[in-house]
Amino acid sequence: DARVTQTPRHKVTEMGQEVTMRCQPILGHNTVFWYRQTMMQGLELLAYFRNRAPLDDSGMPKDRFSAEMPDATLATLKIQPSEPRDSAVYFCASGFPGIYNEQFFGPGTRLTVL
Amino acid sequence: AQSVSQHNHHVILSEAASLELGCNYSYGGTVNLFWYVQYPGQHLQLLLKYFSGDPLVKGIKGFEAEFIKSKFSFNLRKPSVQWSDTAEYFCAVNGAAGNKLTFGGGTRVLVKP
């Protein structure tokens, strides 16, 4: 049963610390998405990659957030330095462009910045 | 640019009641349409999707949705809800040119036992 995995599932950190979240897309999927979900803003697309190249990162605060795909099996989202307003659930999703363009979501990383 | 609007933010209903959640989108071209569900504390899961063909789409768990092109709508329905349908429901759309999804704001559904 192929699924997207994310680590860590929960992260509590202090303001100013660096946070790295990891995502393993479903094998064979070449598109990876990072979303942030908060009560106030709902589900926001931060960035997405195709074939490891960033296609759109316009939703991401550039000064503190960075997203990379070191290889086809790993995507990372880094926040440095973290701030309390970054507290949210961060979801990774993967997909493969085709007829349905469906995205498969991971379980999320719940981040709390104190 | 694509946009998706879900007019109901919260819905409360009793078991066995019928459910209909509204979704309207704006996009000038051919679209793929999706409904995702997020159960409490869980990730988003696909309920159903529309690509082409029959505008009435059947999904999992007894859900269905109807694509009405003239109204730019893709409303979700279930004839008889269960307590386990308590969740947040998201409508999403993407243009056929790529697979970037635009999500609506979500509708929280609470089904009272």
Q: Tell me, what's the pLDDT at A13? A: 97
- Write out the DSSP string of B92-112: EEEETT----EE---EEEEEE
- Indicate the DSSP class of residue B71: G
Q: Tell me, what's the pLDDT at A36? A: 95
Residue type for position B84? S
- Indicate the DSSP class of residue B29: S
Q: Which of A26, A102, A104, A110 should one mutate to test binding to chain B, selecting the residue with the greatest count of B CBs within 10 A?
A: A102
Does the pLDDT of residue B81 top 80, yes or no?
A: yes
- Could A45 and B101 be called an inter-chain contact, meaning their C-beta atoms sit closer than 8 Å? yes
pLDDT-based confidence at A100, cuts 50/70/90? low
Identify the residue with better confidence: A106 or B30.
A106
| Average pLDDT, integer, range B73-92 | 96
Contacts of A100 in chain B (CB under 8 A): 32, 49, 51
Q: Tell me, what's the pLDDT at B98? A: 58
- Could A101 and B90 be called an inter-chain contact, meaning their C-beta atoms sit closer than 8 Å? no
Q: Tell me, what's the pLDDT at A2? A: 80
Express each pLDDT in A61-98 by its tens digit: 889 999 999 999 999 999 999 999 999 999 999 988 76
Beta strand pairing call for B107-112 and B10-14 = parallel
Q: Tell me, what's the pLDDT at B11? A: 97
Spatial neighbors of A105 by CB under 8 A, at least 6 apart, are: A4, A91, A92, A93, B36, B43, B44, B45
Q: Tell me, what's the pLDDT at B3? A: 86
Q: Tell me, what's the pLDDT at A7? A: 97
The angle at the Cα of B94, spanning A71 to A101, to the nearest 5 degrees, equals 50
Q: Tell me, what's the pLDDT at B17? A: 97
DSSP-derived 3-state class of residue A32: strand
Express each pLDDT in A8-56 by its tens digit: 999 999 999 999 999 999 998 989 999 999 988 888 899 999 999 998 8
Least CA distance to B90: which residue of chain A?
A43
Q: Tell me, what's the pLDDT at B112? A: 95
Q: What percent of chain A has pLDDT over 70?
A: 96
pLDDT-based confidence at A57, cuts 50/70/90? confident
Q: Which two structure tokens, joined as six digits, stand for A96?
A: 């493969």
